[in-house]
Amino acid sequence: MCIDQGNVSERNHQVTLMSRIYSQAQRVAIYLGEPENDSDTATAFLIDNDSPAGEISYAKTNQLLHSLNCFFNRSWFTRVWVIQEVLLSLDAVAYCGDKTSAWGAIKTFYQWNVSERWLARLPYVVAPYRRGGPTHTSRQRAALQGLKPP
């Protein structure tokens, strides 16, 4: 689904359908935009960090920190309604240019970053959750309630 953000009437109509669409979708494609600010490196790092091997093969450099900060400061992460894209979907894949990453890799990075503290701040939508499970925080539940149509 693609919504013309400049058309307020279309956008408002589509927003009322989103929770049903995302919860019934087999896979949700999250388009983060074209590659920029070394986003290919950030994506590769997220995928590597998600590998079961446990050891990451990247050094903590200013360039890597910059690419990760730029990645998580993309406009997609600032939109409130994207919370339901990842909370309600069975499977989500993030696309940044021609690179892809399972949403699980982004969640894994969040958990890893809590202990390693590479980035001081991550977008709210990246916080850990489990679809329909008890790990939704009261804040996440309230956010979802606010996004659901009456």
- Which residues lie closer than 8 Å to 123 by C-beta, 6 or more apart? 72, 77, 78
Give residue 114's domain range. Answer: 8-147
Count how many domains the chain has: 1
pLDDT digits (tens, 9 = 90+) for 45-97: 999 999 877 677 889 999 999 999 999 999 999 888 788 888 888 899 999 99
pLDDT digits (tens, 9 = 90+) for 106-119: 999 999 999 899 99
Residue 54 or residue 15, greater confidence: 15
What is the C-alpha to C-alpha distance for residues 44 and 28, in angstroms, rounded to an integer? Answer: 20
Residue 3 or residue 54, greater confidence: 3
Token duo for residue 8: 């307020």
Within-domain flag for 73? yes
Residue 97 or residue 19, greater confidence: 97
DSSP 3-state of 32: strand
Within-domain flag for 2? no
Pairing, β 92-96 against β 99-102: antiparallel
Within-domain flag for 3? no
Within-domain flag for 58? yes
pLDDT for 133: 42
pLDDT for 55: 72
84 CB-contact burial (10 Å; exposed 0-12 / middle 13-18 / buried 19+) = buried
